[in-house]
Structure 1
Amino acid sequence: MSEASSYPPIEPNTFDLIIIGTGLPESLIAAAASAAGKTVVHLDPNPFYGSHFASLSISELTSFLNSHSTASSTTTDSNAMEYATLDLTHRPLYPDVEISSYAPETLTEHSRSFSIDLGGPRVFFCADKAIDLIVKSGAGQYLEFKSIDASFVCDENGKLWNVPDSRAAIFKDKTLGLTEKNQLMRFFKLVQQHLEASSDQDNSNEGSQNSRISEEDLESPFVEFLKKMRLPPKIKSIILYAIAMADYDQNDLKICKDVLKTKDGIDRLALYNKSVGRFPNASGALIYPIYGHGELCQAFCRRAAVKGCIHVLRMPVISLLMDKESKRYIGVRLASGQDLFSDQLVLDPTFMVPSPLSHLRGSLGNVRGKVARGICIITSSLKPDISNFLIVYPPRSLYPEQNTSIRALQIGGGLAICPSAMFVLYFAALCDDAKQGKNLLRAAMNALLKIPESENAEVKPTLLWSAMYIQELTMCEPGHLSSTPMPDGNLNYNDLLDATMKGFHKMYPDGEFFPETTTSEDVEDEGELSLES
């Protein structure tokens, strides 16, 4: 008897919404729909929460990646009287996986001490919309955060420069010369005056108008505006790639796939600046959840459960149900054999909707590029006195063909994601194909690490374990059947959150995405965020 078939029947068997997968977008929708009074059942074939956003042990992560590297399908008996069953197909979203272990005995000894992010590297800006949502929804009571201690940007000579995140940090920075400090401070002052003038209610004020950056400049490429401000190359690189987080080489606008406009660059600088100092215990702009990002999915699932959502793990959905006459989706069939019914369905991006129902979907799970991800477990910190920090390799900083930024995030055992004597390094870069993606990852890894048995004699942390994998990027237009997006190539969740909210409002146009509540059933700590010093 299979584990799923041994489950007791789910009661009731009819819901407003069925959700398959417990990734962050699905968990957000489950919590939001439940808070809006909808009846929701939330299913996942995995024995853990999080799907593609999970934090996993080494063995769980390896198994998950390998199981999603090839396509598969299920076959069901379709002899139901009043409706037809349509088999679900699983598509490979990690088509190229490469895992190496250099110290299996050591890792086995500490196997239960790892909680590794599948969709890393990922951080929160202290002032971004995801943090605001965590506080508003009450999910913050289930989460704790710690500060990312520092950020660095690499130059073309391989030197790491500190990223100053405020005017005070610029003043204290010993790596910047006096001229560079003055240039950067003048630029930050200009941006601050523009933001203050833009928020001024009385825009007719002459001083307010004079302080604003012109519309012509705001619509121009950000790199051109920085040149106009006469900022030197090092300062431009810090602003473009380590603060505004541009992905593609902005210096060659003819071939750049995503030109960052000045207005968007200014908005990203504003987010960075507002993030510094928002929380007393955060030393910089960035924070990270203790136990890993998979905790977010569990936090929103717990909020959904408070509002009546039913969660069932280890429960595969093997087919969709379709009304034979109207060709309309009406429900799902579980591996246990039970049929559940609903008007709306949200699917993990692993699943592909059978063609007879394709007219009901939006552009369900269209692949829009790839991201190369790498994970390394190492024996010591890359920086002797710092545990948790971000490194950005701008385009062309490692080798001439590097056309995208590579981001590396080191997290230590103090955040309960690995043993205290080890560190986890996450890498990510947008890419066109597996070969390009792995070249990007290897270049960053080789710049930072000592690979066992290599001829590199330079003293660097020793690599114990590594994984490289190419992940498909999917962003979805919602329809009657909706598919959620995969983890994207960004550091934060803002774009994913926008896509999730769009999907929710398409299903429930009049529903509020997490209404403000003050009822007694809500948590005592709602509105708070726990941040350890």
Structure 2
Amino acid sequence: MESLGDTLWDVVISGTGLQQSLLALALSRSGKKILHIDPNEFYGGSEAAFSLQDAKSWVTHASNGSCGLVKSASIALPEDATGLSPSRAYSLALAPQLIHARSAILSQLVSSRAYRQVEFLAVGSFFIFSPSRDSAEASGLTRIPSTREEVFSTTAISAKEKRLLMKFLKFVLDHESSPHLETWQEHADSPLVDFLQKEFKMGGELQTYIITLTLSLDGQINTRDGLAVIRRHLSSMGVYGPGFAAIYPKWGGLSEIAQVSCRAGAVGGAVYMLGTGIETMEIAEDEVELHLTSGDNIKTRMLVRADDSPSGQTGVGRLVAVVGSPLTSLFEATVEGAPRPAVALIAFPAGSLSTAAGEESAYPVYLSVHSSETGECPVGQSVLYLTTLATGNVTGILERALDAFIHATSDSQAPQVLYRLQYEQLPGADTARAEGPIFTFPAPSPSLSFDDSVLEPVQEAWKKVMGEAAAEAEYMVFEDREGAMDDDVYE
């Protein structure tokens, strides 16, 4: 049998994160000699999804610095908690990003035929957390109206505010055309909240509604980006069915897309090796010699890897909690004929939370609530994913958000928290680098919704691997393999 070292590989892909895996998908019909390795024993990299046992192993590795852009990882199991199911009943996602229906990644999954292996679920309503103003008033959740029907039916805002909101929603849908274009261009780099106040005379509450729809981690998204994100949300509404604008891949989010992409690479002839990393490398003019942790010495025309060097900028704090309640009220269809959603989003605006020491939240906290329909927990339970920028009091703020949410959704007995996984995701380089025969992807985005800019470096790397053949090939466009079943749901 031919050894790894006997082959001159066209490309070695290091890591099975989303971008590396999508590259494997893009190359799966190319006929190239591909070796795909990962120092981890699991697929997905920073976008992985874990059972409880896998999460425990991951935390151990993160504690000794071997998980790249992760620090301060810990697991907490309340002593009095009961009802936690066996490890494999859970699939906890490290990157639970929603995907808007107008996202380019969905078009690529369709054209590459990979969509057949991914099951998507509806993302439901967006809510705002409203803290109590006094001891006699309970905290609560308010649904954000983001369609014409929801604006007219909501009782959360006044008639005047409804008119302002409708005016803005109409503006956004046509904001790239005259005369709307001229209205916002001079404010393009200014915070969206300032534009909302100046041009639409919106008060703080309506501004918060709009900013929440952008899912901006610092709440300071500029006008140009904010209008584009909100337009994507509005134009995505109803694309795949009534009542929802975004979808979520079942069984662990982006991890499922990464694994499906790797399977396509394997079917196309790529060789896969988990638990295998790169110890040393020597770079020549047109090839790279790699010494792997498996003991193999190999040569490749090109190496593609991911950047795992912290940039020193502010990271994000994350808290994953499993609760012993289905939280049914959050997953109600709001439009007749709409599917029952499996994901709901809750925003805690900046300043709406405070720690036991009295420190207020400087940035928004976002909570993505996933029902058992996602396949991430057993029936009767829910998974809560909390995210905020990592300030000095991030642990206390996330814990406070979790407590506040549980009490806001409790009519009588508060649902029990069965499990907590907490960690900080560090930022890395935000641009791709091509240096001779080595191509380096940027660090994963901490965004709460999938950003299509993630796809650009993948196509760039594909072109470099393909060389002159890229001019003759259609990127991510494949015919069905022999034996594939016809399914025109997304055609």
Q: Normalising by the residue count of structure 1, what TM-score does the alignment of the two structures yield?
A: 0.78
Measure how far apart 1:458 and its partner are: 7.2
- Counterpart-to-counterpart distance in 2, 1:509 and 1:261: 38
Measure how far apart 1:110 and its partner are: 2.5
Match of 2:101 in 1: 126
Match of 1:296 in 2: 257
- Counterpart-to-counterpart distance in 1, 2:285 and 2:397: 46
Contact 1:318 1:333 in 2 (8 A): yes
Contact 2:352 2:360 in 1 (8 A): no
Match of 2:112 in 1: 137
Match of 1:248 in 2: 218
Contact 1:124 1:491 in 2 (8 A): no
Letter in 2 for 1:321: M
Letter in 2 for 1:374: L
Flag structure 1 segments of 5+ consecutive residues without an equivalent: 1-6, 72-89, 199-207, 251-259, 351-363, 451-455
Cα RMSD (Å) of the superposition? 3.1
Match of 1:460 in 2: 414
- Is the alpha carbon distance of 1:301 and 1:473 closer, same or farther for their aligned partners in structure 2, counting shifts above 3 Å? same
- Counterpart-to-counterpart distance in 2, 1:182 and 1:509: 55
- Is the alpha carbon distance of 1:402 and 1:63 closer, same or farther for their aligned partners in structure 2, counting shifts above 3 Å? same
**Of 261, 270, 292, which aligns to 2:222?**
261
- DSSP-derived class of the 1:149 partner: strand
- Is the alpha carbon distance of 1:375 and 1:247 closer, same or farther for their aligned partners in structure 2, counting shifts above 3 Å? same
1:474-532: per-residue Cα shift (whole Å, max 9, x none)?
A: 235322333434432211221433454455556667637834333655955587549xx
- DSSP-derived class of the 1:414 partner: helix
- DSSP-derived class of the 2:455 partner: helix
The answer to whether the aligner puts 1:330 opposite 2:330 as a matched pair is: no
Flag structure 2 segments of 5+ consecutive residues without an equivalent: 133-138, 332-341
- DSSP-derived class of the 1:213 partner: helix
Deviates further, 486-495 or 461-470: 486-495
- Is the alpha carbon distance of 1:119 and 1:160 closer, same or farther for their aligned partners in structure 2, counting shifts above 3 Å? same
- Counterpart-to-counterpart distance in 2, 1:382 and 1:142: 28
Paired residues for 1:118-197 under 5 Å: 118-120=94-96, 122-155=97-130, 157=132, 158-195=139-176
Match of 1:305 in 2: 266
- Counterpart-to-counterpart distance in 1, 2:461 and 2:396: 35
Paired residues for 1:442-481 under 5 Å: 442-449=399-406, 459-475=413-429, 476-480=431-435, 481=438
1:317-353: per-residue Cα shift (whole Å, max 9, x none)?
A: 2423326xx5986232234322221021123445xxx
The answer to whether the aligner puts 1:373 opposite 2:348 as a matched pair is: no
Paired residues for 1:188-207 under 5 Å: 188-195=169-176, 198=177
Deviates further, 484-493 or 337-346: 484-493
- Is the alpha carbon distance of 1:368 and 1:385 closer, same or farther for their aligned partners in structure 2, counting shifts above 3 Å? closer
- Counterpart-to-counterpart distance in 2, 1:131 and 1:247: 24
Measure how far apart 1:92 and its partner are: 4.6
Match of 1:436 in 2: 393
**Of 24, 27, 30, which aligns to 2:21?**
27
Match of 1:224 in 2: 194
Paired residues for 1:83-102 under 5 Å: 90=66, 92-102=68-78
Letter in 2 for 1:129: A
Contact 2:59 2:74 in 1 (8 A): no
Measure how far apart 1:93 and its partner are: 2.8
- Counterpart-to-counterpart distance in 1, 2:364 and 2:315: 14
Match of 1:343 in 2: 301
Match of 1:359 in 2: none
Contact 1:369 1:472 in 2 (8 A): yes
**Of 44, 49, 52, which aligns to 2:46?**
52
Deviates further, 372-381 or 485-494: 485-494
The answer to whether the aligner puts 1:516 opposite 2:477 as a matched pair is: yes
Contact 1:330 1:343 in 2 (8 A): yes
Contact 2:280 2:292 in 1 (8 A): no
- Counterpart-to-counterpart distance in 1, 2:187 and 2:351: 26
Letter in 2 for 1:52: S
Identity %: 25
- Counterpart-to-counterpart distance in 1, 2:32 and 2:80: 47
Measure how far apart 1:365 and its partner are: 6.2
Measure how far apart 1:14 and its partner are: 1.9
- DSSP-derived class of the 2:163 partner: helix
- DSSP-derived class of the 1:95 partner: strand
Contact 2:13 2:20 in 1 (8 A): yes
Match of 2:335 in 1: none
- Is the alpha carbon distance of 1:267 and 1:501 closer, same or farther for their aligned partners in structure 2, counting shifts above 3 Å? same
Match of 1:116 in 2: 92
Letter in 2 for 1:297: A
- DSSP-derived class of the 1:384 partner: helix
Measure how far apart 1:418 and its partner are: 0.8
Measure how far apart 1:174 and its partner are: 3.0
- Is the alpha carbon distance of 1:167 and 1:516 closer, same or farther for their aligned partners in structure 2, counting shifts above 3 Å? same
- Is the alpha carbon distance of 1:102 and 1:135 closer, same or farther for their aligned partners in structure 2, counting shifts above 3 Å? same
Contact 1:331 1:339 in 2 (8 A): yes
Deviates further, 132-141 or 481-490: 481-490
- DSSP-derived class of the 1:151 partner: strand
Measure how far apart 1:177 and its partner are: 2.5
Q: What is the aligned residue count? A: 460
Contact 1:220 1:261 in 2 (8 A): yes
Measure how far apart 1:441 and its partner are: 1.2
